[in-house]
Structure 1
């Protein structure tokens, strides 16, 4: 079973997930309708937010920041951890203080 199905089923099984990010559905961070705006709106109304992130999401966002040519022993491309990167961007960007 691929990570997108695991993420989607976990989202459906939980009643507290606000956002599910999968590799097949591209998203943008900033601007009207962006992820940051959605996060700010959720935090304003709920004081918390749960984001499910499937493996492989947002690799294009990280490719400029980190070495993306690394491979594992089998020769498969190593996927970078966008969860930590996104968490730091949210914390450092004062997303909860944005206007939503």
Structure 2
């Protein structure tokens, strides 16, 4: 229960831990299709955690959701069919989202 309380008080810390976990597991996942799909799912979790982290102000929440939903859709498309334009647009949306 202490962990849940800490996570609610410090959503940015949880986001940081999940992102660091992603950096650590990426080399093991990049070589296979299931690993690529699992990494995209982890990316979607990170996007969700980022939305939770910025929800303190309604304006930022709508901006993050507006950028996050297309980024999630393109991430799913990228996981199953990595085409050049999809990868590029997904990368741009992710960069704008995290900025």
Choose between structure 1 and 2: higher strand proportion: 1
Same fold (TM over 0.5): no
Choose between structure 1 and 2: higher helix proportion: 2
Q: What TM-score does the superposition give when structure 1 sets the normalisation length? A: 0.27
Q: What TM-score does the superposition give when structure 2 sets the normalisation length? A: 0.28
Bigger relative contact order, structure 1 or 2, given CA contacts below 8 A and separation 6+?
A: 1
